[in-house]
Amino acid sequence: MSNLTKWTEIPTNQYEEPQEVGFELDAGSFISPYDIPDGIRATYNPRDPRVVFEFRYLVDEPFRYSRDDTWKEQDREKERAVSVGFGKYSDRIIRLELEADLPDLVDHRPQWMHAIVAAIKRMKQPDMANYYVASRVLEDLYDNLLSQVDTE
């Protein structure tokens, strides 16, 4: 059984300007409202340990996956695989799929955030503004989203 949280509304005005230099953006750069998600939710399936974060935008579109298996945690046997679902037309981040159980995502938050950001940066897609915003949104709402997911 998959457990889906409700959409968490994102205060889009908080993400209109980069707050730090990164993702090849300069502080003060303009970010299009189409690159800023207005909602995010999480899904967890305990039978197939996987957490999915979904982003909602002004315009819906289908997505395609790009999988990144290159980052591995050194003190554990299991790879930390991150699959990124990109918009078919816009290249915006629509989904992030993490192959892990919920306690691992909670207990190893810094490592998972590092893995997510590293996977996003390695995708080399043209829409760096959206990548920056999606990373910030997830960083800001990660704990809240995971606390809402039912583990049963």
Domain of 43? 3-148
Q: Residues of the chain with pLDDT > 70: what percent?
A: 74
Contact 134, 119 (CB under 8 A): no
Check the CA dihedral 45-142-12-135 and report its sign.
Answer: negative
Q: Who contacts 55 (Cβ-Cβ below 8 Å, separation ≥6)? A: 37, 39, 40, 92, 93, 94, 95, 134, 137
- Paired with 9 in beta bridges are 39
* Number of structural domains found in the chain: 1
Q: What is the pLDDT of residues 36-78, one digit of tens each?
A: 999 999 988 888 888 899 999 999 999 887 654 444 444 343 4
Where do we find the tokens 């502080």? 27
pTM: 0.81
